[in-house]
Every structure is written in structure tokens, then in C-alpha cells.
Structure 1
Amino acid sequence: MSVLVTGAAGFIGYHVCKTLLARGEQVIGIDNVNSYYSTTLKESRVAELKPHRGFTFIRQDFANLDGMRAAVGGSGIDRIVHLGAQPGVRYSIDHPMAYAAANLTGHLAVLELARGIKSLRHLVYASSSSVYGGNTKLPFSETDPVEHPVSLYAATKRADELMSDTYAHLYGIPQTGLRFFTVYGPSGRPDMAVWLFTEALFEGRPIRLFENGSLQRDFTYVDDIVAGVLAVLDGPPSGERPHRLYNIGNNKPERVTRLVEIIEQATGRKAEIISEPMQPGDVPATYADITAIRRDHGFEPTTPLEQGVPKFVDWYRNWRGQRA
């Protein structure tokens, strides 16, 4: 049987595919390789996965239900890891329709695809810590209210959770939603702080810090995230309404100024700082309570920021050298 991974050319999707293949799984990767960020980076991830005998890549928009059915019909899929999405809080301010297409129509298309797969054992999908909006109670817990998102991106991710809960109720599809907290690591996303700050230092450009760098984020290394995704994938929920939601984070918020310090040490360069006000849709802090996923699936992050950031910087240095 096979695992279908949407967003296979994306950051987390690529790492999940690589780890599934390493443990001997048959993997079908789906991605339309859009231009939200560097298609060169996305294509390089796919190129690294393609030589694996157990990997099949299909260039397909997962929001196109008919196209998805035609592409994967008869593939013997028994699990889905749905990581494809339109990411980014700030981008959603100016490009709202991209989020409706990928995160709403796309999620519904994956649910409909799953409904037609009789052998399906589990659908794991990506939600986001953004669903907690402007909550001031820390750490964020799955039992906290999440009805007041502060960005369209967050609203679409909360809508995904509600759609999944409905499909679990109506059709008994076992599903788990994972609320990711600021994932970073090698082959990461160019629109996120770890990449942006590292790139700025290598290019001798100033770093923009919002609120003087006082914002806090629960930075989570990608290997820890992948370990959690696979642990959850192997333990589908049961019961009359088989749907669970979990936070998946490092369980340790760090000030953005601390991130800058570690990048400075890893690059051997000093950052020039430009301070700017907090942006629309942003929040002061994120902090994951991981009690539930630790209890149910043994999840335990092992990579502190001081270890994970230098690994990214080393990867970025090599990537930059290859591009040059």
C-alpha cells in the first residue's frame, strides 16, 4: 500500500517523503510546484526524491478533484499526509483568493478524494498555530478558544479543521490535524525568518525586526516535526467521530532577537537591525502545549534552537554556493 503526500515539493512535505522512503514506504507525491517562492528550490527537492524506487511524483493541483482522482486512482493508497497549502500570514493580506483556492477548495477536494478510498486508514493534515489568533493565554492548548483568527490564513486553517471534523462525523474517515508551530530547518521556506535573516547577513543587508525583536515564536526543527507526523500517522484515531487535533511544536518560545544572535554566531557576521511596527495579522507570541501529542503519540522534540539554526545555516551556505 502507498502513502499519498500532498505538497511533496514543499518544505515539510519533502522531508516527510524522504523519511517515509527511508523506512521503506511506497510514496506518491503530489505538487503543482507553484511560484509562491523559488520553483528552483522546489524542483531540487523533487529531484532528490525521484531516484528512490518507492517514489512516484505527480505534478498536479490537489484542489482539482477530477485531476486528483485521475492521477491517483487505483494506486493502492491507504494513508494520506495532506501538507499542500497556500502558506504565509502576511501574503494572505494581499492575495486572499489564493487561500480560498488552496486551503478551502483544496482541503475539501482532499476530503472528497479520501471519502472515495475504501482502503483509507488515516488522513493526517496540516493546520497551524495561527488558529489561536490573538490569544494571550500561554502556552496555547488544544482546548483554548480559536474562533477569532487575526489573518485570513488562520481562518482558512480553522475552516479546514471544521471540515475535517464534519467528514469524520459523516463518513467515519479517521483524521488527525496538526497545528504546526514555526517550522524551520534545511531546505526551508525562503519567506520565513530563519531564511530571510540568514540571507540578509550573507548579502550584507539589514534585518527588519518587528516590535524591536520582542516577538516570541516556538521555533520547531523540521526533523522533530517529521518524527511527530509519522508517529501520528501510525496511530489513527477511532470512535464514532475519529478526528483529533494536536499542537506540534518545540514547547519553548524564543525571542526573535535570540534567533538573530544564533544566526550571527553561525554565520560569523553582525546584523544591522531596522525596527518596524508589528504587521497586520501577526501575533506577539506562540507557544505550544504539547501535553496531548506527547501523551498519545510519544512526541518529544529534541533539537533546541542553538543546534537547529547552525544546521540550517550550513545547508544554506552550500545551497548558496551551488546557485553561485
Structure 2
Amino acid sequence: MDSFSSVDFGQVFAGRRVLVTGHTGFKGGWLSVWLQRLGAHVTGLSLPPDQGPGFFDLCGVEGLVDSRIADIRDADAVHETLRDVDAEIVFHLAAQPLVRYSYRHPAETFATNVSGTAHVLDAAKSMDSLRTVVVITSDKCYDNREWTWGYRENDPLGGTDPYSASKGCTELVANAYANAFFSEPDGPRLATARAGNVFGGGDWGEDRLVPDIVRSAFSGTPLDIRSPSSIRPWQHVLEPLSGYLMLAAALTSQGRNYAGAWNFGPDVSGTVNVRELAGMIQKFWGPEAPKLIFQNEEPSAEPKLHEAGILRLDSTKAQTGLGWKPRLNLPEAINLTTEWYKAQLDGADMLSITRSQIDHYNSLMSETLLSNQVTAAQ
């Protein structure tokens, strides 16, 4: 497989019809803005946005895309809502994304993440112009053995909590559709993408570390931090999104060699524990940073929901096959994130702020491409 790094992936999307499920959410909103910036004609399918100051409303995403509201658990609603949509590229991000929520609502989690994926793929495979599908799952789709090394795409799937198991099942559903319906030589191609813990401006999800810290900063109230020693592969939202875009571009322009599963995780330097990440956010926030209280991790009589202690991804396949790699170190990623939220607090134009951060990231990608070209010519 040749590296995709020599191709300007952005040109692939100009003028194309793209469907993004989950466009009212955090990652789906960022992806929709980026695709619109690249000249794509974006249709979004999702639940209504959550109440409050979310990315979708703050950035006016509804005015940038053809926004359609439906619950992917309802197959008839999905087909009816997408009846007149003939997308060339589909990014499926709509999901129930929270581990702790999955303990409270396990059946809902499976219905959304597993059956919902099948409903979206059913609708997609009936689109005459379809060329590419990228299904976004999670690093938690792996059977986590608490290894210190990163999981590779051919490692076993699994999951001991409802969320993780649902993501493993999502991978199985996607693989079944890829083999049963997207395997013709000249037909559409399907890939899955797995990323770690993502943060960035505009995320207000519940039970998520960065949004909880930002809420604390906005309100001026101290925040209790659970599991401060848990290690996660932290990355800015633009990092995996760039991988999704490169993967879709490769599938669309260069063929089915790019079908299958792909990891998009941070460098080892981006894999730190909760306490370290929270402390870095405090530092970059400045004088008005919230007070953080780290919970005692000694065993207690209270039942505790299982959460992985350590989970890393090996992204060698994406680095060698796509030319993808993280462009932001962890301090840079945190700085971008705190700048976004502080701009919101100051009443700034958040679409303009978002576009400027996307443009900054694009410039980093261009610098890497130029460097690679110079190296290859020497």
C-alpha cells in the first residue's frame, strides 16, 4: 500500500455530496464545519442538539449544512429522512458515546450504536452515487487487557461494559456490511476508524473530564475529579478528524486497499493520566482556573463502575498507509482548547474561532507535506 501523504486530501471533497451522521454533536459538528470549509455539500442526520451552549448552536452549524433530525434507532425514520439524499461519501458518527451513561442505559446504548449503525448502512447502500463509507467507532472496541503497548487493528475486539461491547459490535456490523454489500470491485468501499479520548472547544458532554473542568471554570465552583491515575490517550478533536478525512479521501480516490479498520491515536507523549491532564488545563486557563479536588482512590464499600485503567492505540498503519500523524503535542492541544472556551466566555464569534483553528491545523499539515516532499527529493 502506497502512502497517501502526497495527495492533497482536501481537493477530494470539493463539490462532493457528503452525509455526516451525528452532526449536532461535538465531533460531528467540527467535521461538518471542516467539510464545508473544504467545499463539500454537507447533509447532516442526527438527534436534536442537546440544550445549552453546544458546538452546534455556538457555531451556527445548522446554517452551514442541510440539517435533518431523526433517531437512528428508528429504521423507518432514517430511510424517510434520507429518502432524497444521494451522498457520495458518508461519515457515520452518530452514537451514544459515554461509558457511564451506558451502565444506566445499556439497552439504549446497544440500540443506538449497533442497530443504529445497521440502519444508517442500510440507507447508505441504497444511494446510487455512494463511493465511500467511514464508520467511526472507538479505541474501546478492543478487548482491553490493560497492556502497556498500543492495540493494533488486528487485535481482538471485546468489551466488559455496555459501551465498549457496543463498539465492538459496531465493528462487527460494519465488517459484515463491508463484506456483504461493499465488496464489488467497482462498488462503494467501507472502513472503520478508531480514536482515543478526544477533547476540544465546544464539547459539553456529561461525565467527560474537559467539559467538566470548563463548566467548573465558568461557574467558579470546585470540581471533584474521579480516577486521577487512569491513563488515557488524549488528543485534540482535529487530530482524528484529519485521519477520517484522509481515510475517506484515500478510499474515494485510490481504491479499496484502504478499506478495513484504522487507528488514529496520539503519540506516547499524549498518553497521560487524568491528574496530569487536569493540571495542564489549569495552567493554560490562567488565574481564573477552577479548583480541582482529586478523589481518594483507596478501595471503598461503595460499588464502582469499571473503567479501563490504561488503553493505548498503535497508529503505525495510519502513519505508513495514509501519511497521517498527530500534528499537535499535548500542550498545544490544550492551549487551543482553552483559547476556544475562553473566547466563548468573552462572547466571540465562535464559527470564526473554529475556522481559524482548522486553518491553523491545515497549515501544520501543509508544513508536514512540504517537509516530506523535500526529504523525498534529497
**SS of the residue aligned with 1:85?**
coil
Could you tell me which residue of structure 1 aligns to residue 152 of structure 2? 141
Counterpart selection for 2:193 from 160, 165, 178:
178
Q: Using structure 1 for the length normalisation, give the TM-score.
A: 0.89
Distance in 1 (CA, whole Å) between partners of 2:20 and 2:290 is 40
Distance in 2 (CA, whole Å) between partners of 1:69 and 1:189 is 29
Percent identity between matched residues is: 23
Counterpart selection for 1:80 from 90, 99, 106:
90
Cα 1:85/1:39, change in 2 over 3 Å:
farther
Could you tell me which residue of structure 2 aligns to residue 266 of structure 1? 284
CA contact (8 A) 2:199 2:235 kept: yes
User: Could you tell me which amino acid in structure 1 is paired with residue 274 of structure 2?
Assistant: V
Distance in 1 (CA, whole Å) between partners of 2:146 and 2:283 is 32
Cα 1:98/1:276, change in 2 over 3 Å:
farther
Counterpart selection for 2:140 from 126, 130, 140:
130
Cα 1:83/1:58, change in 2 over 3 Å:
same
User: Could you tell me which amino acid in structure 1 is paired with residue 108 of structure 2?
Assistant: A
- In the alignment, does 2:171 pair up with 1:151? no
Larger Rg: 2
Counterpart selection for 2:335 from 310, 313, 316:
310
User: Could you tell me which amino acid in structure 1 is paired with residue 155 of structure 2?
Assistant: D
**SS of the residue aligned with 1:219?**
strand
> Structure 2: any 5+ residue segments left out of the alignment?
1-15, 183-187, 349-378
Could you tell me which residue of structure 1 aligns to residue 127 of structure 2? 117
Cα 1:319/1:304, change in 2 over 3 Å:
same
Alignment of 1:272-311 (within 5 A): 272-277=292-297, 279-311=304-336
Counterpart selection for 2:28 from 13, 18, 31:
13
Distance in 1 (CA, whole Å) between partners of 2:341 and 2:245 is 26
RMSD of aligned alpha carbons: 2.3
CA contact (8 A) 1:33 1:43 kept: no
CA contact (8 A) 1:133 1:283 kept: no
Cα deviation, residue 210, structure 1: 3.3
Distance in 2 (CA, whole Å) between partners of 1:231 and 1:306 is 24
Distance in 2 (CA, whole Å) between partners of 1:105 and 1:190 is 23
Cα 1:273/1:80, change in 2 over 3 Å:
same
- In the alignment, does 2:186 pair up with 1:166? no
Cα deviation, residue 90, structure 1: 0.8
Cα deviation, residue 113, structure 1: 0.8
Distance in 2 (CA, whole Å) between partners of 1:112 and 1:50 is 25
Distance in 2 (CA, whole Å) between partners of 1:280 and 1:243 is 35
Could you tell me which residue of structure 2 aligns to residue 207 of structure 1? 223
CA contact (8 A) 2:73 2:119 kept: yes
- In the alignment, does 2:237 pair up with 1:227? no
Cα deviation, residue 229, structure 1: 1.0
Cα deviation, residue 73, structure 1: 2.4
Distance in 1 (CA, whole Å) between partners of 2:30 and 2:196 is 16
Distance in 1 (CA, whole Å) between partners of 2:55 and 2:313 is 28
CA contact (8 A) 1:216 1:254 kept: yes
> Structure 1: any 5+ residue segments left out of the alignment?
none
**SS of the residue aligned with 1:124?**
strand
Cα 1:189/1:179, change in 2 over 3 Å:
farther
Distance in 1 (CA, whole Å) between partners of 2:93 and 2:203 is 14
Of 285-294 and 194-203, more deviation after overlay is shown by 194-203
Cα deviation, residue 162, structure 1: 0.5
Cα 1:198/1:49, change in 2 over 3 Å:
closer
Cα deviation, residue 41, structure 1: 1.5
